Structure formats: C-alpha cells, structure tokens
Structure 1
C-alpha cells in the first residue's frame, strides 16, 4: 500500500507542483492585501468633517462625469475617516474600475483601473493562473484537489513503523547534512501544516468546483439542494415622485435600520427590471455576516430571495453558514488578524513542499544513476 501511495505521491506531486507553488505564493501575498493597501494608499482615507455624506445619486452624477461611458455598479460607505468607494464593472466589454471619493465633498481622490492593479494581478493568478477563466480555473481547482490527496497520502507515508522512529518525525534535525534537513523540512513541516492546509484547500475547492460545493451543501443540509445565485426583478409601481431618487430613500432607510454597520454598499439598478441592493456589513474585512436586501426600484418593497445571499439571519442553517463563511475561512479572516497570520504561514509552508519534495526526488534520482563499483574492484581500491 505504501509503495503505491509513494508512487502516486511522487508523480502527482511532480505533475501539480508548479501550480500548487503558484497558488500558495499568491495566497501568501494576498493574505494581507487590506492591511498593505491601508498602509500604503493614503487616498483611501479622508479628514473627518462635521458634515453629512453625499447621497448615492449625487455620487452617481460625480462619478459618471469623471468616468463617462462606463457603467456604475455600486457605492460603498464606511466610517467618517474612510473614502467612499465607487465601483464600475462590466462583463462585455470587460472592465473594472474603483473610484475613491471624499464622502463629504465628492472630490475624487483616486481612480484605479483594476486591470493594472498589483493585488488584482495576484488574485487572477490565484484564481486562474493568469489564463482565461474557463481554462485556468479548472486547472487550479484540479491541482488543489490533487494537493488534498498529497496531504493525506503524505500523512500515511510519514506515519512511522514503530515508536522508536516516531520521535524523529516531529522535529527537524538541524545539525544534519543539507539533504537530511531538506527531507525533514518536507516531512515535518508538511505534517504540522496538514489540518489547516486541508481547511484552506477544501474551502478553495468549494469555490473551484460546483460539484464539490453542491456536495458539501447536500451533506451538511441533510440532503437539500443548494439554490444558485440569481438576480431578483423589480415588478412594482412607482411610489415616489421623480425628484426623490429611490436609491437615496433606501440608503437613508438602511442607515436608520443598521446604525452599527461598519460598511453600507448601495447597488444601482442596471436595467428597468433590476432591483436596488443594499448590503450592510457589521464586520468590515469579512463577508459572512453581511445582509443583502433587494428592493423593488419602483415600489421600494423588499424582494425576497431563496439563494444564500439574502439576510444573514434568514439563512442560519449549518449548510448556509458554511457557504457564507467559506471565503473568510479560506483567507483566515474569520478569526481576524491571527487567522490571517496563520493562513500566511501555512501558505508559505505549502509553497515550500513542492520545492523540498522535488529536491528529495532529484537527489535520489542522481544517486540511483551513480555507477556501481564491483566488490573485487572495491577491494583492490582499498588495498591501494
């Protein structure tokens, strides 16, 4: 059994190693994206003022004047020290812009084409390996699935035959030769990283494979089928006069109903049938507790949805919570900064495993190619 596992562990590792390395390194870099951006991008912040914020309709006029012929998607408000973030997004033709504006004056502090943003580049590498999504995404997900097998098979191969050998498996022998140290780094670090690495990999698979996501939901919901995300529609009749923008009315309503929300994001209706979405988040930097409320843009009444992205407390079942928490678990944000640090460390170890594993294989390969010395010749060499 171990011989078979060793063979599969070796060749699956060689086949997927470079992809796992890319996924792990990009994961390391992206782990502290928010913290790095806050520390290096001053345009994300403003001086607090004793003034009211501009409304979503006012920001729409300002933003569309600054970036004409682009479709505005949403505007996000935070606290009195943070710039408003206006998003322009479209699939065909594809573009993605973020505009940072002063919430009190509407002054645009920065407009970023996200196609040239460093962290966007890293994220596309992590998701798609910088390939077209239809090609890169299944390759990345398949490599992640192989990595799960590598972790499990690695544990079986690591497991010692007796108690005497067990003591040597938990620590790196730093005073040994470099090949032994490399071997220990691969095995010992791999062993310690298994629990968290499995969690990171499995949460990645939920995002990477629909069949995996549906299977997890089915297993944790007692056999129910997960409802896929869909856009609800507006079907009501106007209740406001033309001088009162519906999105402004709903924005004020959302603020009044969610006084403790750390961010409020209003989504502009894109078509005559679209709803106005209000997203309130009680914990900035995470996503799982956010409330998504869809309003009919004419009647201003909430439009109920059956998928998982509605009100958080309306979808409190175990299966829905797992789906909600999945991304925050994947990046470690579910437990704050300590979780991100842990995710960074495990991702760094994960990136090292294909490297140390390849060195082990290459060293054994070179060793096996050395010419064997016959016994008689060896004796003659000893005499001389």
Structure 2
C-alpha cells in the first residue's frame, strides 16, 4: 500500500513537471543535438575562412603586426577581447570583439556587438569578417542557454526546467522499474514493440528509450546545472599587472613566445586581452582540438610581458579539479571523443522526443487499451 501511494505521488509529479518543462526540454534536446557536431560542421561549411594555403618556407607574422590589422578590420568602436591562435600550419588566426548586456531582455539586445575577423597569419590578409551575432551556431547556442530571452529571464527558465528534467529522469526510472523481474515484464521494459498500435508504440518509445538514455542525460543535465549555478566558475585571480610601468605598447610577441616555449605541443592558444588597466593577459594553451579540459593557463603582465602565474596541468590536478575542468567536455560528450559526441547527439534527440511521447501518453490516457 505504501509503495503504491509512493508510485502514485511520483507519477503525479512526473506528469505535471513534465508538462511544465516539456517545451523547454524539447528545445534543449534539439539544440543540444545540433551543437554536438558544431566543430565538425564548421570545418566543412566554413572551410574558406578557417584554412589558408601555406607558402613554401613562410613563417607566421609576429602577433604585434597582426593585431593592428585585426583592429582596423573591426573598426574603432569594436574592441578586440580575444584571439584564437591555432598552431596548425594551415589555419587562420581568429580575433573576436564581443560586448554583451547581461541585464537586457532578448537576443538582439543581449549582444551589443559580436564580430570575428579571420586573418592569414603569413600575409596578414583579412580572410573573412563575420558578424557572429547573426551566425547560425551562435543563435543555436543562445537558444540552448537562454531561449533567446537574455540571461535574466531565459537563463532562469532554463535552470529550473533542467532541475525539473533531472527529477523527471529519476522519477521515470522509478516508474520504469518492474514489480517483478520476470521475462515478460523485462521484455516490455527493454524492447520496443514496433508492430504495436500507435498508443503502445508511443508508450514504448517513451519508456524504453527513456531508460536507455537515462544515465547519459543525467550527466548532460547535471553538468549543465554546474554551469547554471556557477559551480565551475574560477575564482578571480589576485594577480595584477604593474600599472607603474604603463606604456602604449603591449608586448604581445614576448608573451606568445613564452607561452609557446612553455607549451610547445599546444593545438591552439586563446589569448585574452585585459579590459582593466591592472588586468593581466590571460593565455590558455589547449593541448587538443577536441577537448577543452586539457589546458594550461598563464597570466602575464600586460606591460612588461613577464609571466606572473602558471596554472596546474590537467594530469597534476586533484580528482575534484579534473572533474570541474572536464565539465564542458562531459556535457557535450567530447570527453569520450567521437563516440561521446555520437552518444550526446542521440541523447539530445531522445530528450527532444521524451516530452512529445510523454504528452501523447497523457493526451491519449484512458482512450484505448495498450496492445
């Protein structure tokens, strides 16, 4: 009796929380599935802006020569905040100018501007200038993160919808759990009856696919909540640049040269330009194009170029720090390479389908028996 009442309560909560969060979960599943292979799709669709021909015997121009070219291409009203400096010989350098209003409502108000300039690092030629605010994958990511409503409103809705989704996954597992582990019941729990009538087929799709994807979706949802509740946010460093030696010249070449010598096997550097006068130049050395967790972070004095701080390499971090560092890669599946991305893609499709099949179960309830 007690178990029966418990399951009825779980079923009630599962139903209404599913109806409450279903549309958001559908959007998250769809956009998550699309975003799973973003890098691979960009490699194909944006090939002309990502790759250059390497002249025989040519060397890359110094960063100090490329920066003014990128700044001129951006325009004086768009301040460069980051450079992505690939160490692959045939890749362009990408510079980004981004300014957002986190208190605004709506996508078009959130981004005050967002531009990317791709340069040929051998000639300094502007290969492509992109208004990233209108770029497809930027819009998909914003839809995934805040429903195109801005951080204050959209992020709040996303956060609590994902909390509901975690409960739905756990409660769904409780409802899926068979009373008796006999062959007939197990067959119904583990196998879709493809030749059944629509009502039974829909129930099986919800029940069976929900079970098989439960663990993967839990990892994706919980890592998403880690971001949402800012549990992966790094503490602001107390290391500052020495403003007593202020000059108009940023020693970009010296900084990049030190980072290259310290991390010679780097796939690409993210070179972050400081906004405050006392801010440091933060350089992240990513050791792989596939994963974000395997990186080393450096902080340099923006005026002298002196190395102020070096982060701990991934394999030397504590287990807790490694899990935090891997949060993005676990969320997208890239922690397991291509296999993980495939799993994340199909999990996204299943997550998109669960609210639909769940709604149809509720809508068709009591109308016809399952067969």
What TM-score do the two structures reach when normalised by structure 2?
0.88
**Residue from 169, 194, 203 that aligns with 1:183:** 203
CA distance in 1, matches of 2:66, 2:37: 29
Q: How many pairs align? A: 349
Q: Which entry has the higher C-alpha Rg, 1 or 2? A: 1
SS in 1 for 2:81: strand
CA distance in 2, matches of 1:131, 1:166: 44
Residue 68 of structure 1 deviates from its aligned partner by 1.5
The residue aligned with 1:82 is 91
SS in 2 for 1:364: coil
CA distance in 2, matches of 1:287, 1:176: 45
Contact kept, 8 Å, 2:284 with 2:298, in 1: the verdict is yes
Q: Gaps (5+ residues) in structure 2? A: 1-5, 102-110
The C-alpha deviation readout for 1:67-99, integer Å capped at 9, x for no partner, is 212101122221111111111122368322111
The residue aligned with 1:263 is 268
Residue 256 of structure 1 deviates from its aligned partner by 2.2
The residue aligned with 1:45 is 51
**Residue from 255, 280, 283 that aligns with 2:285:** 280
CA-based RMSD of the aligned residues comes to 2.2
Q: Gaps (5+ residues) in structure 1? A: 215-225, 369-384
SS in 2 for 1:264: strand
**Residue from 182, 187, 205 that aligns with 2:225:** 205
Which has the higher mean CA deviation after the structures are superposed, 105-114 or 267-276? 267-276
The C-alpha deviation readout for 1:95-118, integer Å capped at 9, x for no partner, is 221111111001111111111010
**Residue from 206, 212, 225 that aligns with 1:192:** 212
SS in 1 for 2:303: coil
The C-alpha deviation readout for 1:129-175, integer Å capped at 9, x for no partner, is 11121111121011111111101111111111122422221100112
2:79 is the counterpart of 1:71: yes
Contact kept, 8 Å, 2:73 with 2:117, in 1: the verdict is no
Residue 365 of structure 1 deviates from its aligned partner by 5.8
**Residue from 121, 128, 138 that aligns with 1:103:** 121
Structure with larger RCO (C-alpha < 8 A, sep 6+): 2
CA distance in 1, matches of 2:340, 2:155: 25
The residue aligned with 2:355 is 354
The residue aligned with 1:121 is 139
Which has the higher mean CA deviation after the structures are superposed, 343-352 or 253-262? 253-262
The residue aligned with 1:323 is 324
CA distance in 1, matches of 2:360, 2:273: 54
Which has the higher mean CA deviation after the structures are superposed, 315-324 or 340-349? 315-324
2:319 is the counterpart of 1:298: no
CA distance in 2, matches of 1:279, 1:327: 15
SS in 2 for 1:124: helix
The C-alpha deviation readout for 1:191-222, integer Å capped at 9, x for no partner, is 11111111011001101123xx28xxxxxxxx
CA distance in 1, matches of 2:357, 2:165: 15
CA distance in 1, matches of 2:96, 2:32: 24
Q: How does 1:333-348 map to 2 (within 5 A)?
A: 333-348=334-349
Contact kept, 8 Å, 1:247 with 1:266, in 2: the verdict is no
Q: How does 1:152-171 map to 2 (within 5 A)?
A: 152-162=170-180, 163=182, 164-171=184-191
Residue 311 of structure 1 deviates from its aligned partner by 3.5
